[in-house]
Homo-oligomer: A and B are copies of this chain.
């Protein structure tokens, strides 16, 4: 048993939160920060590959991903899996579960993850006692739906090359916002080609070949779990990726 915190674990107090120093999130009053910290019931560490939410589990909790990568997914009975979106540090997860009956989706950790878990069944009290936070939560829900919208356009109407270019750009830009790009311009990129295939609605083999093509064109470099974009402009053009003006998001 080691008393020192691993570097990616949730800090004991929200005011020490690394994410709030990234300029990606709306600043909050100290009082609100205290409320959020009170709303937080616990922290949790989930190892790579572990389930944050089981696909058919009701009543799971709501939480914010503090560090690590995860993804939401749905599967068909014969095993076909669709990744709905990737979850990166700062993302709120599990809002849908709070409302019960909604379509089942699982959440799985790609890497080791640290989470801030919120109190169970207290979402309504948040809205009642702190309408501003309720408003923020709704904003986040709408924002996440926007990501799923994008992914649906990608899976439904882009070809394999465009899909991969989209995925690379999209994730890179999101990582950029939370300061996860290293000085050399590379980012940790822990997903494998099966994840990409499942996110894009492609087969593993075709994902490999299309990704290979992009690499050979000199558009990116992906090795040893690190991604570097060598020609982001070209990737954006291929994917028709439009960077929306970065706007501050709420962080719970």
Question: Could you list which residues of chain A lie within 8 angstroms of chain B, going by C-beta atoms?
Answer: 72, 74, 76-77, 80-82, 84, 95-96, 98-103, 105, 123-124, 127-128, 131-132, 134-135, 137-139, 141-153, 155-158, 200-201, 240, 244-245, 247
Contacts and interface: CB of A to CB of B under 8 A. Distances in A.
Contacts of A245: 101
Nearest to A149: B84
Contacts of A151: 152
Contact of A135 (B84, B134, B158, B201): B134
A195 to B, nearest CB: 13
Given A95-B138, A99-B139, A201 B155 contact: yes
A96 B146 contact: yes
Contacts of A96: 142, 145-146
Nearest to A103: B146
Contacts of A240: 76-77
Given A151-B152, A157-B81, A157-B201, A247 B101 contact: yes
10 contacts: A76-B153, A95-B142, A101-B247, A102-B244, A103-B149, A128-B132, A134-B134, A134-B138, A141-B141, A141-B145
